[in-house]
A = this chain, B = another copy of it.
Amino acid sequence: MKLGLAQINTTVGDLSSNEAIILDAYHRLVKQGAELVIFPELAVCGYPPRDLLLKSRFATDTQECLERIAKQIHEVPALIGCLEIASSKEKGRPLYNAVAWCEAGSIQSYGRKCLLPNYDVFDEERYFEPAKEPLVYEWNKRRIGITICEDIWTDESIQTSKRYCNDPIENLAEENLDLLVNLSASPWYINKEQSRQNLIQQVSRRLNCPVAYCNSVGGNDELIFDGDSFITHPSKGIIAQMPKFEQALSTFDIEASAQVSSKIECSDSTLKNMHEALILGLRDYAKKSNFTKGIIGLSGGIDSAVVAAIAAEALGAENIIGVAMPSAISSSHSVSDAEALAKNLDIEFHSIPIKDSVESIETNLAPNFQGLARDVTEENIQARLRGVLLMALSNKLNGLLLTTGNKSEIAVGYCTLYGDMCGGLAVISDLPKMQVYALAKYINRNGIIIPQNTIDKAPSAELSPDQKDEDSLPPYPVLDAILYHYVEEGLSRAEIIELGFESDIVNFIVKKVDQNEYKRKQAAPGLKISSLAFGIGRRMPIVQKYIN
C-alpha cells in the first residue's frame, strides 16, 4: 500500500488558502501514485485556532470548507484533520477535534481525538469534547486505526502519562490493525524529535503494525511546527523520513521491502535544528502578518547580532535594517561591532545618536526630580528612547521590529519594559544566554558573520558607565542552570540549593524571576523552542506571594 503524506503549512483561519493547499497537495500525491493520502491535525482551519473556535460561524465555515474539499476527493481516499460539530442532542462541549475520511466525493466517516492536551501551550479541554476511543476504519480489506496527535502519547515513561485515565493504544491493541495513522500538529522544542521517534517506534511494536505519522510544518504565533513526518515499522524501525522545517509531499510503499533509515537526531544537530526552527518561525510570522521588512536595534552585542543573522536568512539580507543608537555612555566598539556585523550580513545600516534627545527629556523632568539621585530611571530613559526611535522606523517604513532579548535576561527582568522589549516578535526569547553564544558560533561555522569581538567581549547593557551584566548577576553558566531548574523544572529554592548552588545566589535569582512577571505579561510573543517557554504555555499570576 502506497501512502501519501502531506506535510503542509496552513495558516490559522485562512480557510480558502488552506483549502487550496490541501487540494493541491492531494492532487500531486495522487499523481505520485498514492493510494491513501494523509494530512496533519486540524489542517482545514490551521492549528492552534484558539478562541476563534468560540466565534459563532467558525466551526460551520470550517465544515463548509471541508465539504468543498471532499467533493474533489474521488477514488483515492484522504484523511483530513478537521472540526466535527457535535449534534445538538449530545451533552458536553459542542466540538470534536476530528479527522474526516473523505472518499467518492464526500465525507464517509469521522474519527475523533480521545486525549485532549490541556497543559503547557495546549487548551483543548477549553473547546473540545474527548472521544471514548479512536476510529478503526475498514478499507480495502485492511484495518486502519486513526489517531490524532496526543492519542499516541500514552507511554508510561513520558511525563504526560499520569494526565489521562484512558489509553487509546491499549484500546487498539486488540484490533489487529494493519496500519496506525496519526495526524499531528505537534510543536517542536529542542530534542523533541528523539523522544517522538522513540515513542512512536514503541507504539508500532505494541500494535505490531506500521505507524504513519504526519505532522504540520510552519510557524503560528509562538509555535513552530517542524514537520519531520515519518513511517515506522515494528521490526524495521523508521522506514521513511520526511524533512524538517519545510513543506513536503512524499509517497512511501509500506509493504515494499523498505530501506531502513538510521536518521535519529543526535545532540550535535541540535543547533542546526534550533537555527532552522527560528528561521522558519520568524519567516512565517512575518509572512503571515504581511511584513517583508525587518528592523533590528544593533547594540554591538551578541543577542542583536544573532537575531540579525537569523533575520537575514529568514527574510533576505536586502529586507533587514540594522540601527545603532549610541548614547553618551555607549562604548566605541558598540557602533563599530554593529557596523561590522551589518557589513558581514550585507544589510542596511543606520546610526542615530540619542544623546541630545536624552538630555532634552532629562531637562524636562528635572523640576520633578529635584534632590533625587540618578538611578535606574535614567538608564531606562535611554532604553525607552531607543524604543521610540525603532518604533518610529517600524511605523514609517512598515517593517516588523524584532526584539532581541534572551531567556536569561527576560527571566530576571534585565530588560526595559517599553525599551529594548519593544517589538512585534521576540526571536530568541526562549534561548538562555549560553545557547545564544552556541548559536553564534554555529552561525559562524563557515566563516565570520558575527564579529569575534561581539562574541568575546563581556555582556553589558551599556546603560550606565562601565556597566557589565556580571556586576549584578552570577556568571551566565550558573544563571542559566538555576533558571532551568526554577523555571523549566519548577523546583523549589531548597531543591536547587541541594543540587549544589549557593543559597544567596539562588534566593536572589528566584526573587528576580518572580518580581518580573509583570514585564513578561507585556512582552512581545516569542518563538518557543524549549519544553517550557515564557509565553502562552506558562500562566503565572502577576501579583502573588508564594516563596519557595
Interface residues of chain A, those whose CB is within 8 Å of chain B, are: 11-15, 17, 45-46, 48-52, 54-58, 61, 91-94, 118-119, 123, 125-126, 162-165, 220-221, 285, 288-289, 350, 352-354, 356-357, 360-361, 363-365, 367-369, 372, 375-377, 380-381, 384-385, 387-389, 391-393, 395-396, 417-418, 422, 424, 489-492, 494-495, 518, 521-525, 536, 538-548
Contact = CB atoms under 8 A, between A and B. Distances in A.
A45 B545 CA distance: 10
B92 A164 contact: yes
A202 B187 CA distance: 46
Given A126-B119, A364-B357, A392-B365, A13 B384 contact: no
Contact of A369 (B57, B380, B396, B542): B396
Contact of A12 (B91, B163, B391, B541): B541
A233 B45 CA distance: 49
B368 A544 contact: no
Contacts of A422: 418
Nearest to A219: B543
Contacts of A385: 361, 388
Contact of A353 (B52, B165, B364): B364
A330 to B, nearest CB: 15
B375 A395 contact: yes
A41 to B, nearest CB: 16
Contact of A388 (B14, B288, B384): B384
Given A13-B541, A543-B289, A375 B361 contact: no
A154 to B, nearest CB: 11
A111 B321 CA distance: 60
Contacts of A545: 11-14, 17, 288
23 contacts: A11-B543, A14-B544, A17-B545, A46-B544, A49-B544, A49-B546, A52-B540, A56-B490, A56-B495, A58-B548, A92-B165, A93-B162, A123-B123, A220-B543, A352-B365, A357-B360, A360-B360, A361-B389, A361-B392, A377-B392, A384-B388, A388-B388, A518-B525
A380 B365 contact: no
B12 A92 contact: no
Contact of A522 (B354, B381, B523): B523
Given A12-B544, A396-B369, A424-B518, A418 B389 contact: no
Of A54, A396, A540, chain B has the most CB atoms within 10 Å of the CB of A396
A151 to B, nearest CB: 16
Nearest to A396: B377
A15 B546 CA distance: 7
Contact of A541 (B48, B389, B392, B418): B48
A12 B517 CA distance: 14
Given A387-B418, A536-B539, A92 B54 contact: no
Contacts of A288: 543, 545
Nearest to A119: B126
Nearest to A537: B51
A389 B364 contact: yes
A55 B357 contact: no
B538 A51 contact: yes
A126 B424 CA distance: 28
A396 B429 CA distance: 28
B57 A492 contact: yes
A368 B388 contact: no
A405 B187 CA distance: 35
Contacts of A92: 162-165
Of A119, A221, A288, A545, chain B has the most CB atoms within 10 Å of the CB of A545
